[in-house]
Amino acid sequence: MSMTGRVALVTGGGHGIGRATVAALRAKGALVAAADVDLAAARAVADDTDGVLAVRLDVTDRSSVDAGIARCVEHFGRLDCLVSTAGGDRETPEFAEMSDDDWSAAYELNLLGVVRCVRAAVPHLGEGGSVVVVGSVNGLAAWGSEPYSVAKAGLGVLVQNLAASYGPRGVRVNLVAPGTIRTRVWDGQGGPDRLAPMYPLGRVGEPADVANAVAFLASPDAGWITGVTLPVDGGVSTGPIHLLRDRW
């Protein structure tokens, strides 16, 4: 189904998965606010694509979130969909050496940042509205980086509760959990392709792989889907059996 006439705001819309999601939603006909703490990147997206508004939005700052959502509504006159892609990990020491600040930073960006955005958006969402949160397979199984993983795991329960709370208003809330995606976070780390053998489909993901799943869940095509976590992970969450077959 088309999203013509609908308005979406994408956090993290200046880079990677967020930028690809802006393109996917725009291709479905939605008007889109590309919201990013990196305003120059958001403006580059808007300059490349008609029907896109660049908005500065820092998910760790409530006033910035509120102002960014308000700017979108002021410009387009409405808000029908929130896509929360902003997040990220940072290098931390071994678990026993982690500080409270290491944990707090992960929560601020990856969990509370989503809370702030949804809290600001839901007053504008009515019947047919949707929220799609981008989490990680780190929130589904033990992949290391404990603060980041725990924050991402919290998103699953958050989405279920929000789906139950706002379903009677006709608002759907879902979560996408990507595996390894080819984004700028791999710059200087030798690239993500060294992890391809872990994936049954034989490759790591591209931003568009996630964006297409997000656009589906955001659209009326998924009109009876809410409260779910959809892994978009090339099959890695199925387990390591494909790596063991040659040993049998």
Residue at 50: amino acid letter: D
Q: Which residues contact 115 (CB under 8 A, 6 or more apart)?
A: 158
CA dihedral 73, 74, 77, 81 (to 10 degrees): -10
Tokens of 110: 């990856």
The pair of three-digit structure tokens given for residue 9, joined into one six-digit string: 């705001």
* Residue environment code for 48-59, b if the CB has 16+ CB neighbours within 10 A, otherwise e: eeeebbbbbbbb
E strand intervals along the chain? 7-11, 31-36, 52-56, 81-84, 130-134, 172-178, 229-232
Q: What sign has the CA pseudo-torsion 181, 185, 187, 188?
A: negative
Our answer to whether residue 152 is catalytic in this structure is yes
Rounded CA-CA distance 140/245 in Å is 24
The residue annotated as part of the active site, out of 28, 148, 166, 199, is 148
- Beta partners for residue 84, in sequence order: 11, 133
Q: Write down the catalytic residue from 28, 107, 152, 199.
A: 152
Residues annotated as catalytic are 148, 152
